[in-house]
Amino acid sequence: MTQILPADARAIARAVEILHAGGLVAFPTETVYGLGADAGNPAAVARIYAAKRRPGFNPLIAHVAEAAAALREAELPTAAQTLAAHFWPGPLTLVASIAKTCGVCDLARAGLASVALRAPAHPVAQALLAAFGQPIAAPSANRSGYVSPVTAAHVVADLAGKVDLILDGGRTPAGLESTIVSFIGPEPTLLRPGALPRSEIEAALGTRLATPRDASIVAPGMTAAHYAPAARLRLAAQGLEEDEYGLDFGGQLAAEAPAGRIVDDLSPGGDTTEAAAKLFAALRDIDARGLAKVAIAPIPNDGLGEAINDRLRRAVAG
Ligand code: TXA
Ligand code: MG
């Protein structure tokens, strides 16, 4: 049975009980909803993989309340600590070697000697982490291979019956997963573009971020077909073909499209932050309407455009 509660103090206390008992709690972060379990409890973490039907055991992000807690889990190099000081709590995940005191279980790390850590900024996530007092392992709360959930209703659609409690905190503000930076190699590497733009991270570091040669090896969860809706998507479309609907950006497709064929505009004003917040709900809506073919307007690569275009390429590969 899945319980859905408004994320007030009583619901958070209930969530903490469930986590201590090895159960699963879905909760809002500033990026997307997470499917959380006690990161130190392998039986609880195994339930995450089962609920999501994840192929294999991709490593999960361990969520912590603050940088001090992250230092117990990982050997964060100075540059990583600089980023934590700048951007935590916030939509940035840091990958580093595990510390001797690391409490994140092997299964949550998929057996790696590294761990991915993030201190989320959402008040509900903050309250839950503070009350639980231990790292919470949480991937996005969607079934594996589908788009990440940005509302409690999306979590229900994907995971009803498989999660003990959903804390409903409304729609998540950023709408796109966190940016992941790895400190495992010789230089800081952008494993996944996300809700914190590359440019801000590079400004804080004073260096460019490296790009991994093969992201599917470095970040095992980043398989190409990872955000795939059922509809067939065509990217950077200049116009609509006969049997296509359009997902617009900045009104580029609307001018030439037949009436009623533009399903939505991710940002009429051409703002990539607004478009990121709307992206996953728009993709779910396309499937909910049963549309077979959708053309998506070109989206510039600046700001959050890099992460949006990354997710759209994966959506097409699926
Ligand atoms: O915004 C987010 O990051 C959301 C919210 C819930 O925090 N979480 C999320 O988790 O997107 P998930 O599991 O869907 O994506 C985590 C990514 C995966 O691609 C995984 O491979 C990578 O993080 N990852 C985790 N641990 C890693 C590690 N030790 N080394 C490299 N990549 C790692
Ligand atoms: Mg995910």
Q: Please check the confidence at residue 225 and state whether its pLDDT lies above 90.
A: no
Q: For residue range 183-197, list pLDDT tens digits in order.
A: 998 899 999 999 999
More confident residue, 316 or 38: 38
Q: What is the mean pLDDT of residues 11-39?
A: 98
Q: What is the mean pLDDT of residues 136-141?
A: 97
Portion of the chain with pLDDT greater than 90, in percent? 85
Question: What spacing in Å lies between the alpha carbon of 77 and ligand 1's midpoint?
Answer: 20
Q: What is the mean pLDDT of residues 246-257?
A: 96
DSSP assignments along the chain, one per residue: --EEEE-SHHHHHHHHHHHHTT--EEEE-SSSEEEEEETT-HHHHHHHHHHHT-SS----EEE-SSHHHHHHHB---HHHHHHHHHH-SSSEEEEEEBPTT--S-TTTTTT-SEEEEE----HHHHHHHHHH-S-EE--BSS-TTSPPP-SHHHHHHHHTTT-SEEEE--S-SS-SPPEEEE-SSSS-EEEE--SS-HHHHHHHHTSPPB--S-HHHHSTT--SSSS--SSEEE-S-SS--TT-EEEESTTTTGGGSPTT-EEEES-TT--HHHHHHHHHHHHHHHHHTT-SEEEE----STTTHHHHHHHHHHHHH-
Which of 2-11, 29-38, 50-59, 223-232 has the least mean pLDDT?
Answer: 223-232
What's the pLDDT band for 217 if we cut at 50, 70, 90? very low
Question: What spacing in Å lies between the alpha carbon of 88 and ligand 2's midpoint?
Answer: 20
**For ligand 2, a single-atom ion, which residues have Cβ within 5 Å?**
140
Structure confidence at residue 224 (pLDDT): 56
Q: What is the mean pLDDT of residues 133-147?
A: 95
Q: What is the mean pLDDT of residues 34-57?
A: 89
Q: Is 32 in the pocket of ligand 1 (CB under 6 A)?
A: yes
What's the pLDDT band for 213 if we cut at 50, 70, 90? confident
Question: What spacing in Å lies between the alpha carbon of 189 and ligand 2's midpoint?
Answer: 19
Q: What is the mean pLDDT of residues 269-291?
A: 94
Q: For residue range 158-174, list pLDDT tens digits in order.
A: 999 999 999 999 999 99
Q: What is the mean pLDDT of residues 17-42?
A: 98
Structure confidence at residue 220 (pLDDT): 52
If you take atom 30 of ligand 1, which residue's CA is the nearest one?
A: 219
- The ligand whose atoms approach the alpha carbon of 138 most closely is 1
